[in-house]
Structure 1
Amino acid sequence: MRFKGLDLNLLVALEVLLTTRSITETARRMNLSQPAVSAALGRLRDHFGDPLLVLNGKRFLPTTTAETLLPLVRQLLRDAETMLQAGQRFEPASSQRTFRIIASDYMAVVLLTRVAARLGEVAPHVCLDIIPPSQQSGLALDNGQVDLLIGPDAFVLARFPSELLFEERHVIVGCANNPLFSGAIAMADYAAAGHVVATFGPNREASFADQVVEKLGIERRIAVTTSSFASLPWFLVGTPRLALMHGRLAAFFARIAPLAVAEPPFAMPLQQVVMQHHPARRGDMGLQWLTGLIRDGAAVWTEDGTPAG
């Protein structure tokens, strides 16, 4: 389809080209040949009267015109998708849609595994693509690359609506035969133990729970640092180490590994977990259906963070 002399299909190629800044990667993502992508770039250059991408060494860099066009093209494509989805019926049993969700491995384990199990029953051809959070999460949600973001309210994106899914407590977890778990854990014993912590991102940022401990001025000896919430339990089994874990995650792993759980000897605030989507997607019937499944998955946990079923 052409609009004022431009083949609108080229706008899809333009968005991918300006995002990847690569002929090869654009061809891979769009399932096209590299000559076809190069030809599309040539037609776009002719239409806009601008090179759009210029080679600088081994990398393509966008021109000023390209940087101006990118947010406009993304908004146009997102509006077109919203228009096409508005009012469309969503049939879970026959849909082959892939939903892309930004969520940590903690969220994947305690919530999205349940959602995936339900999908297998009622929507066997629907797929979930779970993407770890990053500094680009907001941009990915903004430009329509992902459908949902699920995470702690501390990282909520103010420009998108949010919905509280549940509140999470944190507990101390260790090996089941660790004598510290024979009673309440004293602060001195907690501080003296070796600890396993999770940090994330290029700056190795501490988790919500570990940030609380740092703010309280509790000095600990960090024995193991990992980059995954779900790996924490496996560094505890057979050792005297301790870890602060989400209550739901601890309950999940305590069912399959020899772990003990105790309350911290200090005040830990509850962590709020929220779900966000772009406001333009309110009319997306498929997304409405999926968020309903996610709410159901969150509801199977009791208020104290133990599985209700």
Structure 2
Amino acid sequence: MRFKGLDLNLLVAFDVLMTTRSVSRSAEQLHLSQPAMSSALGRLRDYFGDDLLIQQGKRMFPTAYAESLMPMVHDVLRKVDAVITTSTNFDPATSQRTFRIIASDYVTAAVIAPLVRTLAVIAPQIKIEAVLPSDGSAELIAQGAFDLLITPEEFISPGQPAELLFEEQHVFVGWKGNPIFADKLTEQVVMAASHVGVHMGNQRTSAFADSMMEKAGRFRQIDVIASSFTIVPWFLIETNRIALMHERLARRMADMFPLAIAQIPFPFPSMREMIQFNRTRSGDEGLIWLRERLREEGAMPQP
């Protein structure tokens, strides 16, 4: 379909080219041959009268004009996507839709993985793509590139709607053979112990529990720093180290590893885990359904 002489399919090609900055990767993503993708870029250049992408060495870089077009094209495609998804009746039993979710390894293991097992029965053709958060997660939601972002309340973007998924408590976790767990934990014992901390992302951001400890002036001896919660048990087993962990994840991990769990022996805030989505998807029946399933899973009694 053409609009004012422009094949509107080329807008999709433009969007992918600007994201990948590679003809070959764009062709792969759009399931086209490389010559067809090169032809699409040539037609875009002819229509806009600009190079759009310039080869420098082995990399391609957008021109200033292409940079100015990018947010407008993103916005157009996002609105078209919203029209398509909200105008179609959603039936989970027959839908073949793919939902793209940004979530931490903790949320993926504790909530999304159990939900996927449920979906295999009630929505067998639905696909879930879960990726870890990054510094650009909020922008991916704003662009409509991903459907949902699940993140602590402190990290949500004020520019898009968000709703509570669940509130999470934290516990101390350690190897079952760790003598610290022979008696009830005290604050003195906790502060004298060796700890495993978690720093995430390129900015090495402290996990919620670790940052709350620091804000309260409780500075621990952290001897190991992990990049994700799912590898923490490997740093605890057969050692006297302990770690702060989300209770949901800790109890699931205790089914697979020889771990002991103890309550925190001093006041500690709960963590509000939120679901954020693009405001243009507010009426999306599929996302409304998925968010409800996530809330149900988050409210399930812990093992």
CA distance in structure 1 between the aligned counterparts of 2:12 and 2:166, rounded to whole angstroms: 38
CA distance in structure 2 between the aligned counterparts of 1:86 and 1:105, rounded to whole angstroms: 30
State the secondary structure of the residue aligned to 1:217. coil
Residue aligning to 1:14: 14
Deviation of the 1:86 alpha carbon: 2.3
CA distance in structure 1 between the aligned counterparts of 2:278 and 2:262, rounded to whole angstroms: 39
5 Å-filtered alignment, 1:85-100, equals 85-100=85-100
Deviation of the 1:231 alpha carbon: 1.4
Deviation of the 1:293 alpha carbon: 1.0
TM-score, normalised with respect to structure 2: 0.96
Residue aligning to 1:211: 211
State the secondary structure of the residue aligned to 1:283. coil
Q: Does 1:166 align with 2:139?
A: no
Deviation of the 1:160 alpha carbon: 0.8
5 Å-filtered alignment, 1:165-184, equals 165-184=165-184
Deviation of the 1:162 alpha carbon: 0.6
Deviation of the 1:91 alpha carbon: 1.9
Q: Is the 8 A contact 1:87 1:283 kept in 2?
A: no
5 Å-filtered alignment, 1:25-174, equals 25-174=25-174
Deviation of the 1:46 alpha carbon: 0.8
Residue aligning to 2:229: 229
TM-score, normalised with respect to structure 1: 0.94
Q: Is the 8 A contact 1:195 1:243 kept in 2?
A: yes
Q: Is the 8 A contact 2:138 2:156 kept in 1?
A: no
Residue aligning to 2:273: 273
CA distance in structure 2 between the aligned counterparts of 1:219 and 1:167, rounded to whole angstroms: 25
Q: Does 1:247 align with 2:247?
A: yes
Matched letter for residue 289 of structure 1: W
Matched letter for residue 54 of structure 2: V
CA distance in structure 1 between the aligned counterparts of 2:285 and 2:203, rounded to whole angstroms: 38
Deviation of the 1:113 alpha carbon: 1.4
Matched letter for residue 151 of structure 1: T
Matched letter for residue 192 of structure 2: A
Residue aligning to 2:23: 23
State the secondary structure of the residue aligned to 1:11. helix
CA distance in structure 2 between the aligned counterparts of 1:83 and 1:254, rounded to whole angstroms: 45
Matched letter for residue 99 of structure 2: F
| Percent identical residues | 47
Q: Is the 8 A contact 2:101 2:131 kept in 1?
A: yes
More off after superposition, 218-227 vs 162-171: 218-227
Matched letter for residue 144 of structure 1: G
Deviation of the 1:223 alpha carbon: 2.5
State the secondary structure of the residue aligned to 1:47. helix
Residue aligning to 1:258: 258
State the secondary structure of the residue aligned to 2:96. coil
State the secondary structure of the residue aligned to 1:174. strand
CA distance in structure 2 between the aligned counterparts of 1:212 and 1:283, rounded to whole angstroms: 36
CA distance in structure 2 between the aligned counterparts of 1:42 and 1:258, rounded to whole angstroms: 60
State the secondary structure of the residue aligned to 1:157. coil
For 1:3-60, what per-residue CA distance to the aligned partner results, in whole angstroms no more than 9, with x for missing partners? 1100000000000011111112111111111111111111101111111111233321
Q: Is the 8 A contact 2:95 2:123 kept in 1?
A: yes
Q: Is the 8 A contact 1:140 1:146 kept in 2?
A: yes
Residue aligning to 1:287: 287
Matched letter for residue 276 of structure 1: Q
Listed as ranges, the gaps of 5+ residues in structure 1 are none
For 1:59-113, what per-residue CA distance to the aligned partner results, in whole angstroms no more than 9, with x for missing partners? 2111121111111111111111111222311122222111100000100111101
CA distance in structure 2 between the aligned counterparts of 1:168 and 1:283, rounded to whole angstroms: 28
State the secondary structure of the residue aligned to 1:12. helix
More off after superposition, 14-23 vs 217-226: 217-226
CA distance in structure 2 between the aligned counterparts of 1:165 and 1:291, rounded to whole angstroms: 8
State the secondary structure of the residue aligned to 1:36. helix
CA distance in structure 2 between the aligned counterparts of 1:30 and 1:151, rounded to whole angstroms: 30
CA distance in structure 2 between the aligned counterparts of 1:19 and 1:239, rounded to whole angstroms: 45
Deviation of the 1:215 alpha carbon: 2.4
Listed as ranges, the gaps of 5+ residues in structure 2 are none
CA distance in structure 1 between the aligned counterparts of 2:119 and 2:261, rounded to whole angstroms: 31
For 1:173-203, what per-residue CA distance to the aligned partner results, in whole angstroms no more than 9, with x for missing partners? 1112222223222233222222111111122
CA distance in structure 2 between the aligned counterparts of 1:169 and 1:222, rounded to whole angstroms: 21
CA distance in structure 2 between the aligned counterparts of 1:225 and 1:263, rounded to whole angstroms: 22
CA distance in structure 1 between the aligned counterparts of 2:104 and 2:116, rounded to whole angstroms: 15
CA distance in structure 1 between the aligned counterparts of 2:135 and 2:256, rounded to whole angstroms: 33
CA distance in structure 2 between the aligned counterparts of 1:189 and 1:126, rounded to whole angstroms: 48
More off after superposition, 9-18 vs 32-41: 32-41
Equivalences, count: 303
**RMSD of aligned alpha carbons:** 1.4
State the secondary structure of the residue aligned to 1:180. helix
Deviation of the 1:130 alpha carbon: 0.2
